Chain A
Amino acid sequence: MKRRTFLGGTIAVTTLGLASRVDAQQPPIKIGMSMPQTGGLAGGGKASLLGIEIWRDDVNAKGGLLGRKVELVVYDDKSSASETPAIYSKLLDVDKVDLLFAPYATVPTAPIMPLVKQRGLLLMGNFSFQVNSKVQHDMWFNNAPWGPPDSWPDSFLEIAQKAGAKSVAFLSADQEFAQNLVVIAREVAKKRNMPVVFDQAYPPSTVEFSSIVRALKAAKPDVVYVSSYPPDSAGILRAVNEIGIGDNVKVFGGGMVGLQFGAVMENMGSLLNGVVNYNSWLPEPKMYYEGTKEFFDKYTKRAVEAKVDPLGYYLAPFGYASGQLVEAAVKAVGSFDQKAIAKYLHEHEMQTIVGPMSFGPDGERKENAVLQAQFRGIVDKNIEQFRSPGKQVILFPEKLKSGDLITPFEAARK
C-alpha cells in the first residue's frame, strides 16, 4: 500500500519535471540490482556492472532521466541463488528503488522472478537463460541476444551441416547453464536428423580432460558441440590441442563460456584457432552502431582501474544497452510507471549500442542475435590482438557475416 502511494507520488513529481537538466530539488532515480562480485560469476558480473555504470554517467551528463539524476544501488550476491531474495527485498522495501535490474546470469536471477511477478514489477534481465519460461512474467526483458531458445544451438548445427557434418558429439559441464543448453541442442540435433555418437556431462571439478577428449575422438563425430564453463573451456582446448580430435571433425565449439573473456582468451592464445563459438558482440565492422565506439573508448579506460576484463565485449555493452532501453522507454512514456514502460518495450524496436532490440511476449529477444564466430590467426599472450577485426570471423547471422567457415577443424587450427 505504502509503495503504491510512493510510486504515485513519483509519477506526479516527474511529469512536472520535464526540464532536461538535473534538478537539484528532485530526489534521484534509484535503480537497484545485485551483481556477482565474488564467486564463480564475479568476472562477468564486474564487467557488466561497469557497462551499466558508464550508462549511468552518460545519462547523468545528459541531464538524467526526466530531469532526475540516476543513482545505482548495487549489492554483491556472491554468485549464489540464496542471497538474492533478501537483497531484492532490501532494494524494494528499504532502499525503495524505482527500477530493478537483474544480476548477471541465471542462477542468481531465478529466485527473484516469482518475487517481481507477484509484485508486478519491471525487471531488466542480464544474460540469464530461459529463466522466465516457467514463471511467465510479462514485465521481464532480457538484454541477452539469445532469442528463441532453440535458435542458438540451431545456428551452430546449421553451419556444421552445411559443411557436410552428419554425426554429432555433445560434451557438457554438469552445471546449470551448460545443461540447459545441451538439452536444447539434443532436440535440435534430433530435428536435423543428426545422430548423436557421444554425449557426456563431466563434473565441474574435473581437472584433466585428456581422457575424455580421447574417448570423444574415438567416437569419430563430424561435429563437436561443447557447452562448458571458463576453467573447463581452457582445459578442454588444451587437451584437444595435445591429444588431437581427429580429421573428421568439421566444426568444434558452440557453447563454450569463457572464450568471450579477455583474460581467458589471452591465456589460451593460439589454442583458440579454428574454434567456432557463440558470442554476443565482436569488433567486426558491421557490429558498430551509434555510440558503440564511444562506449568502448570509455570502457577501455575505466576497465584498467576497475581491474575487470580489459576487452569487455561479452557483457559490458549489453549492460549499457539495458540502461538505454530504460532511458528510451521512460522518455517516450514520460513517466516511471513500470507498466507503461513494459508496454512500450513490448511494442517498440529500440536502438542500442549493440544494435536494434525487440522483445517477444516472453521478454526474450524476438530474433536470435547470437553470433557464431571462428577464431583465426590468434597468437599467444597478446590481448591487444583481439581488438582488431578478423580475429573472430562472424559466420552467423547472415547479415553480419564477415567471412566463411574454414573446415575441417584440424585445418582451421593451423
Chain B
Amino acid sequence: MNRNGILFWIGATLFLAAALLMTQVIGNQYPFFAGYVILQFVVLAVAWSILGGYAGYVNFGTSAFFGVGVYTAVFLAKAFGAPLAVQIATAAAIGALMGFVLGLLTLRMQGIFFSIATIAATIVIETTVTNWRYVGGAAGIQLQRPMVTAPFDNYVQMLFFVQALLVVLAVAISRYIQNSWIGHGLKALRDDELAAECTGVPTLRLKLVACVISGALMCAAGAPAAMYLQYADPSSAFNLNYSVSVLAMSLIGGTAHWAGPIIGAILLGATQQLLTVTISSEVNVLVLGVMLVLFVVAAPQGIIGLIRKVRRHRSEGEA
C-alpha cells in the first residue's frame, strides 16, 4: 500500500470513529437527522459518479435505484421483520441485478439515449410499485422501527452510523476503481468508446462492472431510508429530486476525482438542509437552480477543477 492509501484509510477510520463518537456524546438529535440526509447523498453521488463520471454514462434513474432500495427494505420488514443489515444487503443485491440490466442497455444506447432510457425505466418501476398493494401501493405504508441495539441508544443515531459505514464503503470502492485498470479502462471508453474497443479494452465487461457497483451502492443507500422515515410512498421514494440533486452534486463537486462527488454532496446537501430551516420557501428551489447554472457555466470541471486550476497557477507562479 502506498502512502496515499495509508493516509486514506487513516482518514476513513478517523471519520468512522468521529461518527461513532458523535452518537455517544451528542444528545441533540438534529445533527443526526440532518447528517443522515447529507451522508445518504454522499453515497448516492459517489455511486452515481462511478458510472456517470468515470464512464460518462449519465444515469437519470438514481431515484429508481433509491426507491427500489426503500421498497426492498419495506417488503423485507413487513414480510419477515428482517433486520436492517439484511435489508441493506438484499437491497444491494437487487441493485446489482438492476445495474446489470442497465449495463446491458448500454450495449444498444449511448449518450442522451441512455439517459432517456433510464428515465423511462424509472417510471415503469415506479408504476409497478404503485400497483403493488402488499407494500401499500399508492396509499403509502407506515412502518414500526424495531428496538435499537447497543451501543446506540437511539435508532436515528444508528442509522447515521450505518450510513457513515456506507459512505466509507462507497468511497473506498470509488477510489479503488479510479486508480485501478477498471478506472483507466472506463476513462478510455468515455473519451472514445469505439477507439477503446479497438485497442482491446473490454468495454462491455467494464461497463457492466461499473453499472453493477453503482446500482448496488445506490440501492443500499436507499434501504435505510425506510426506517429513517418510518413511512414510504411511491411518489416520495421515486422523487425526481433524487436524480437531479445527485447529478447536480456530482457536477458541482467535479467528476474527475473520487473526492469531487463527496465535496459536491456535502456542499449542496448541507446548503439544502440549511436553507430548509432558514429561508424556507420557493427561494430554496431557486438556489438549487442558480447554483446549477452558475457552476456548469463558470466552473465546468466543478470544485475539483477549480482546486486543480489554483494549484497549477501556484506551481506556475513558483516556477
Contacts and interface: CB of A to CB of B under 8 A. Distances in A.
Interface of A: 1-2, 37-38, 74-78, 80-83, 85-87, 89-90, 92-94, 106-107, 110-111, 113-114, 131, 134-135, 174-176, 178-180, 183, 201, 203-204
A82 B33 contact: no
Q: Which 4 pairs of residues, A with B, have the shortest CB-CB distance?
A: A86-B33, A89-B33, A179-B139, A110-B231
Residue of A77, A81, A201 contacting most chain B CB atoms (<10 Å): A81
B29 A92 contact: yes
B138 A176 contact: yes
A86 B273 CA distance: 9
Contacts of B139: 176, 179-180, 183
B280 interface: yes
B231 A37 contact: no
B215 to A, nearest CB: 21
Contact count band on B: 35 or more
Contact of A110 (B140, B225, B284): B140
A207 to B, nearest CB: 15
A74 B236 contact: no
Contacts of A106: 140
Interface string B33-51: 1101100000000000000
B229 A82 contact: yes
A110 B281 CA distance: 21
Nearest to A119: B29
Nearest to B26: A93
Contact of A38 (B32, B37, B233, B282): B282
A75 B284 CA distance: 11
Contact of B144 (A2, A77, A85, A114): A114
A75 B280 CA distance: 5
A76 B236 contact: no
Given A76-B284, A77-B276, A81-B231, 20 more contacts: A38-B285, A74-B280, A76-B276, A80-B236, A81-B229, A85-B33, A85-B228, A86-B33, A89-B33, A90-B33, A92-B30, A93-B29, A107-B235, A110-B140, A110-B142, A110-B229, A110-B233, A111-B229, A131-B142, A178-B138
Contacts of B280: 37, 74-76
23 contacts: A2-B27, A37-B281, A38-B285, A74-B280, A78-B276, A80-B236, A80-B239, A85-B228, A86-B30, A86-B34, A87-B277, A110-B140, A110-B230, A110-B231, A114-B144, A114-B145, A131-B142, A135-B142, A174-B137, A174-B138, A176-B233, A179-B137, A183-B139
A184 to B, nearest CB: 11
B239 to A, nearest CB: 7
Contacts of B282: 37-38
B142 A89 contact: no
Contacts of B131: 174
Which of A80, A111, A204 has the most chain B CB within a 10 Å cutoff?
Answer: A111
A133 to B, nearest CB: 9
Contacts of B29: 89, 92-93
B115 interface: no
A199 B246 CA distance: 39
Interface in B213-252: 225, 228-231, 233, 235-236, 239, 241
Contacts, number: 109
A83 B37 CA distance: 9
Contact of B140 (A94, A176, A203): A176
Contacts of B140: 81, 106-107, 110, 176
Contacts of A178: 138
A135 B281 CA distance: 30
Identify the interface centre among B33, B130, B281: most chain A CB within 10 Å of its CB: B33
Given A85-B229, A179-B139, A174 B284 contact: no
Given A37-B280, A38-B284, A179-B137, A204 B235 contact: yes
B236 A81 contact: yes
A85 B224 CA distance: 14
A201 B138 CA distance: 10
A182 to B, nearest CB: 9
With most chain A CB atoms within 10 A of its CB, the pick from B33, B139, B140, B142 is B139
Contact of A89 (B30, B137, B145, B233): B30
A312 to B, nearest CB: 19
B69 to A, nearest CB: 13
Interface in B89-128: 127
B229 A38 contact: no
B149 interface: no
A107 B241 CA distance: 16
Nearest to A180: B139
A94 B30 contact: yes
B233 A81 contact: yes
A106 B231 CA distance: 11
A110 to B, nearest CB: 4
Contacts of A93: 28-30
A174 B127 CA distance: 10
B281 A1 contact: no
Contacts of B130: 174, 203
B196 to A, nearest CB: 39
A203 B235 CA distance: 11
Contacts of B233: 81, 107, 110, 176
A362 to B, nearest CB: 14
A76 B284 CA distance: 9
Most buried by B among A82, A176, A203: A82
B138 A175 contact: yes
Contacts of B225: 82
